Amino acid sequence: MSGILLQSKNISVLRKGTPPLAFPDIRVETMEKTLVLGPSGSGKTTLLSVLAGLLKPATGSVHFKGHDVYTLAPRARDHLRGENFGFVFQTLHLLPTLNLRQNIALAADMADMPRDEKRIDHLMTTLGLIGKAHRKPEALSQGEQQRAAIARAVLNRPKIIMTDEPTSALDDENAEIVLKLLHDQAKEAGAALLIATHDNRIIHHFKHVIRLEGRAREAA
């Protein structure tokens, strides 16, 4: 089912001691795959934070499924994000005191949703992690940690998966593997996929590309 899932207009963000940054308008359709491409310093992570309801912009609006995200009360915004957004951060944020299974299940706990143990098993099996369920993150390889972060991001069957530089630190072969995992898991969850990166190698996988030219332009 198509339709506008996420849309932003006239977004700018204040920075201490410098002019505000302005970003191009964003429009993401249901189950669409979108690439935000720009060099370091162009504001990719800042833009993702605004789109996810984590950083209120100085100007502009963000709508998710028709709801103005920043007119919602903080608790309602947190609830919307927990139910509808999945995140794979550049720093994976796996908690060292929890084992792999607990780290994946954390997505449900944080969204105040019941744990779906069968889905956790399915994701760990699909991503080749089922034999590592009780290991702590420090006992996992970097690739295993990244797969665990992907599993956590898609556990709640989000409507949109946001990822920040998922391939830029990887060689060509592993970049393709991670990108396929993200595409496959987004499709399985019925989610749109929004990737922010400076990695030009993956541009051919996307029909919808938004470019941040140089540093995000200063707002007028």
Distance (Å) of CA 83 to CA 79, 96, 158, 179: 6, 24, 6, 23
Does residue 57 belong to any structural domain of this protein? yes
pLDDT in tens, the chain (220 residues): 468 999 999 999 987 777 788 999 999 999 999 999 999 888 999 999 999 999 999 999 999 998 999 999 999 999 899 889 999 988 888 999 999 999 999 999 988 889 999 999 999 998 889 999 999 999 998 889 988 999 999 999 999 999 999 988 888 988 888 899 899 989 998 999 999 999 999 999 998 999 997 554 544 4
Does residue 140 belong to any structural domain of this protein? no
User: Taking a C-beta distance cutoff of 8 angstroms, is the pair 34, 195 a contact?
Assistant: yes
- AA letter at 61: S
Does residue 194 belong to any structural domain of this protein? yes
CATH number of 216's domain:
3.40.50.300
Domain that holds residue 55: 1-65+159-172+190-220
Number of independent structural domains in the chain? 1
Q: pTM for this one?
A: 0.88
Q: Which tokens belong to 163?
A: 């990822």
Distance CA 201, CA 16 (A): 33
